[in-house]
Chain A
């Protein structure tokens, strides 16, 4: 058994479809006969890539200009659904715009949203469930959506593997944005990019993350140095993002990025549940922490109980001298 139709929220950056959207397409292909996308932008820009990943149609609003994207996209999708012929299931990634669209859509259609989902089980249109890890990933909770109308599910990044299947370009169809009234009043004045150079957290084979155990903002340089030597992406716990040591884009965890590198090296990080959900899927985990009771050691393949100020400089030196 499978679903008739699934819609995937397509997001793109500088003309390239985001990996999360491609991951959702891979799952959608698995569970539905027809997979379509909706997009807040010009669908022609991404129709080939979406098609290659199995979407037959991309419903697109056209350029949204300086509008904050969530409201117009949700309004357009809700209007389309009201015309009839809506999907059984709508999949969105847990991203900034994904959450905005899902929340707006849920209130408009008066249906719930399943959040933080890492797997979707769909027998038929009336039997759709999502699996959500809780308590730092130690327990999996399966929840079935029982309301009428399309089911809405927000999926965490890295839950599925994106894979091109080499189909034709997706057909571009217009998705009309209705009158928004007061809800559409938020406007983007300027976009700022503060991206790090070097490998990206999302797809680096190795990630080196630092936490409050580094003691001082300047000491984060050691994490960057180690990352550079290993061609790794530097990451961080929320504690040091909140403290302003590094930008938010470095944060790994529940409210940050989900990473699944081959090797994750945690330096001076305690291993709070909210951090662990973002890195537990790493193939190998190395932790350096002076407290041998630190929770991070319970999931580390190699744990070093020691002072980062002693271990890191020696490690860096040893790698440099190779």
Chain B
């Protein structure tokens, strides 16, 4: 069983984001980290390979500046190796462009299963997984909250508005997993040390034979035309509870005539 997990490396969400008014992209500073949303896919992949009695989990990531910090975290969890696509020509790449790059990189691997998160924490388009599946000519199941494989067939509980659907799908396939599907393991000290020696193959657009016009700003098919501050909501009255604050809520509701 060979599982590829697409992992995004993103700016630390704990640091407030800012848009660069010049390039109109997210300002990036410092190291990128593993998107927490993708740690679920990594954990899921490790468990599926275990359950299958053997195989390999490998990673694919597209990131600027030869960034590997986030990949190392996933390698420390137990993935065997990674492909990193990094190229100055990728700046400004849209979701579809990203899917094109990931599809080419995955094409080198020929996996049984490709896992992604349902949406990235910083871009949250949520379209990359399905675009990727279409480009690879594969079926996809999005919003998986549980994944099992028996006799080469996926059994998935897929989130729906009213509950969930039990879905089956033959391999190979692309599956996007929701947060909370599994409990991502913390990398052990041994894992962290081992990760340093694991192979990360770095590829450029030329290596993947991708036309520069298909990606980057040029290939995006979109242009940011305006960035404005949204109408701010003002904070109202804030009171400290000294035993009677619930009465404030009661009179607030009374004033609105809902009680």
Chain A residues engaging chain B, CB cutoff 8 angstroms: 13, 68, 70-71, 74, 94-96, 99-100, 102-104, 106-108, 110-116, 129, 133-135, 137-147, 154, 181-195, 205-206, 230, 238, 241-244, 247-249, 254-255, 262-263, 265, 280, 284-286, 288, 292, 297-307, 310-312, 314-315, 318-319, 322
Contacts and interface: CB of A to CB of B under 8 A. Distances in A.
B167 A100 contact: no
A217 B129 CA distance: 33
B237 A302 contact: yes
Interface string B206-243: 00000000000000111111111110110111111101
Nearest to A302: B252
Given A103-B131, A138-B230, A145-B222, A183 B138 contact: yes
B126 A186 contact: no
Interface in B129-155: 129-131, 133-135, 137-143, 145
Nearest to B180: A242
B39 interface: no
Given A143-B224, A183-B140, A300-B238, 12 more contacts: A107-B99, A139-B227, A186-B140, A188-B166, A191-B160, A230-B259, A255-B118, A255-B179, A285-B233, A292-B238, A315-B246, A315-B249
A154 B133 CA distance: 19
A205 B143 CA distance: 29
B163 interface: yes
Interface stretch (B48-56, B58-66, B76-84, B168-176): B168-176
A318 B130 contact: no
B235 A300 contact: yes
Which 6 A-B residue pairs are closest in the complex by CB-CB distance? A306-B241, A103-B130, A147-B221, A242-B180, A107-B134, A301-B236
A181 B133 CA distance: 13
B165 A188 contact: yes
A236 B244 CA distance: 25
B131 A140 contact: no
17 contacts: A68-B139, A96-B143, A100-B130, A100-B142, A103-B126, A113-B95, A114-B222, A143-B222, A186-B139, A190-B165, A248-B159, A280-B233, A285-B233, A302-B237, A304-B246, A306-B241, A307-B241
Given A139-B228, A249-B163, A315 B222 contact: no
Contacts of A255: 118-119, 178-179
Contacts of A254: 119, 124
A194 B162 contact: yes
Contacts of A141: 19, 224, 226-227
A173 to B, nearest CB: 25
B124 A99 contact: no
A244 B183 CA distance: 12
B152 to A, nearest CB: 12
B139 A318 contact: no
Nearest to A277: B124
Nearest to B16: A135
Contacts of A238: 179
A96 B233 contact: no
A68 B167 contact: yes
A302 B236 contact: yes
Contacts of A310: 241, 243
Contact of A99 (B127, B133, B137, B162): B127
Given A115-B125, A182-B138, A187-B169, A311 B143 contact: no
B250 interface: yes
B221 A143 contact: no
A206 B250 contact: no
